[in-house]
Amino acid sequence: MAIYCGIAYRRKSFWCYRLLSTYVTKMRYLFELKEDDDACKKALQTGAFYLFHNLSPMLQKSEPQYLVPKYSLLELERLLGKLGQNTQRIEDSVLIGCSEQHDAWFALDIGLNHSSSINASLQKPEMETELRGSFMDLRKAFLQLNAKDVSLLSTAQALLRWHDAHQFCSRSGQPTKKNVAGSKRICPANNIIYYPQIHVNLQELEAAAWFSHEEVATALRRNDSYTLQQNITPPLRLPPKFAIAHQLIKEWVENPACPSLPA
């Protein structure tokens, strides 16, 4: 029994180290793409694209869930050409992640008029017909998406929304320009750099705090109705089950990184 436990422990340790190593390598690659425009341009050539229209993702029905289609650069160029659009529009895409094989993932909203876009926004019906899918409100579709897709699309939507709201410099009033990855925007007039908000904005949030994995897991297990009946104020109240935020929290609790490593 002791030998078996020792083997099982070593195997678990090996997979924990391997998982951690893969994660670190992946994060380093993403950081490189965010900081190096040339590296990101190269990644665009072999990357995959998720399409949005006015912040609604393109989804395809496949009972009992929705599928989230990805498109290669070549497929995207053909699509834009077929609809009379200039492929320069692809420059509006933003980096949202990558696979373990370092295939970069980008999101592109073809319904928003960005300052860098030279064409008007594409019409939703003709795009849906061509793509054989629908641009759907993410809040209405997330219950029929798997957790990984919900997480990725939520990240993409938030980043696309941020870029749409920061087209102009708050100081000079001049148009800002994003880097290739979309990890920041720069005002050419005064070189001010804008980043998506990584810190707490006290004008938008009443409060913020850090919680451990166990505290969040406990909050997920808690019977809120019973707690309310007992007039007890819980230390952490989570969003309702139908909210995207709840699904993201649940995914993090159920699929954490290796919690501990042997010395």
Q: Is residue 252 part of a domain?
A: no
Identity (one letter) of the amino acid at 155?
Answer: T
Q: Is residue 240 part of a domain?
A: no
Q: What is the pLDDT of residues 202-214, one digit of tens each?
A: 665 666 677 777 8
Q: What is the residue range of 66's domain? A: 22-164
Task: Report the domain count for the chain.
Answer: 1
| pLDDT for the residue 161 | 93
| pLDDT for the residue 204 | 59
- Per-10-residue mean pLDDT, the chain, length 263: 54 51 83 95 96 94 88 93 86 93 94 57 81 90 85 92 93 94 95 80 65 82 53 67 80 64 37
| pLDDT for the residue 76 | 93
Which residue in this structure is represented by tokens 């949005």? 52
Pairing state between β 185-186 and 134-135: unpaired
* CB-CB contact of 68 with 145 (8 Å): yes
Listed in sequence order, the residues at least 6 apart from 126 whose beta carbon sits closer than 8 Å to its beta carbon are: 83
State the burial class of residue 59 (Cβ atoms within 10 Å of its Cβ: 0-12, 13-18, 19+): buried
Q: Is residue 43 part of a domain?
A: yes
**Separation between Cα atoms, residue 213 and residue 97, nearest integer Å:** 23
Q: Is residue 194 part of a domain?
A: no
Listed in sequence order, the residues at least 6 apart from 207 whose beta carbon sits closer than 8 Å to its beta carbon are: none
Q: Is residue 110 part of a domain?
A: yes
Q: Is residue 114 part of a domain?
A: yes
Q: Is residue 175 part of a domain?
A: no
**Separation between Cα atoms, residue 70 and residue 86, nearest integer Å:** 20
The answer, as to whether pTM is greater than 0.75, is: no
In CATH, what number is assigned to the domain containing residue 139? 3.90.79
Q: Is residue 262 part of a domain?
A: no
Q: What is the pLDDT of residues 161-193, one digit of tens each?
A: 999 999 999 999 999 999 999 999 999 999 999
Listed in sequence order, the residues at least 6 apart from 74 whose beta carbon sits closer than 8 Å to its beta carbon are: none
| pLDDT for the residue 82 | 86
| pLDDT for the residue 201 | 60
Q: Which helix (H) or strand (E) holds 105?
A: strand 104-109
